[in-house]
Amino acid sequence: MLELKNLRFGYPGQNKDWHFEFTLHEGECLALHGPSGSGKSTLLGLIAGFLTPKAGQILWQGEAVNHQPPWQRPVSSVFQEHNLFEHLDVFTNIGLGLHPGLKLDTPDKKAIEHTLERTGLGGFGHRMPGELSGGQRQRVAVIRAILRRQPLLLLDEPMTGLDPHARQELHAMLLEEKANGITMILASHDQDDRKALADSDWSL
């Protein structure tokens, strides 16, 4: 269970503060929507550990994670910038999500290949990110986050640039993750994405 208790944040030099408070149970998906600057990405950054709150607590399974660095939190994130390593091929980019030292066993390698095939990227493992379209890069970023098998998945406009078929494939994958107990927060302008994946919808 994810709990935000009286969480407050403000950027330096700005008078505006955000206040976040909610509870999200295992296997639930909360959708966030609102105009640019409404705080969607800020909220995801706070939970991921890339931003430091002024006050309040972020708790996972009853334990405060506020002071944990991002890599120690039970979180996988997909942000709009994809965050792929441009000098590494697709397979290696995904593999780093499973193991930072790339010590991949046979099931790990099969999971990567299977998921690439399933999302229309079969045979793309040796391509470099610069050879991919924006939608293909986004799929790689989502695959990497899912295969990390963290219990909390943060998604910031994850379907950007995807055609309808690829979007449906990722919907199916994410719904499977939900059914397996993965908790998600989805920031999306797209009402169809929110309707397909979310249990609750929060306008910021």
What does the pLDDT look like over 65-94, one tens digit per residue?
988 999 899 999 988 766 788 999 999 999
Q: Highest mean pLDDT: which of 115-119, 133-137, 194-198?
A: 194-198
Domain boundary assignment for the chain: 2-203
Where does 2-203 sit in CATH, by number? 3.40.50.300
CB atoms within 10 A of CB 108: 16
Q: Which two tokens stand for residue 5?
A: 């208790």
22: DSSP letter: E
Give the largest Cα separation in the chain, rounded: 53
User: pTM of the entire structure?
Assistant: 0.89
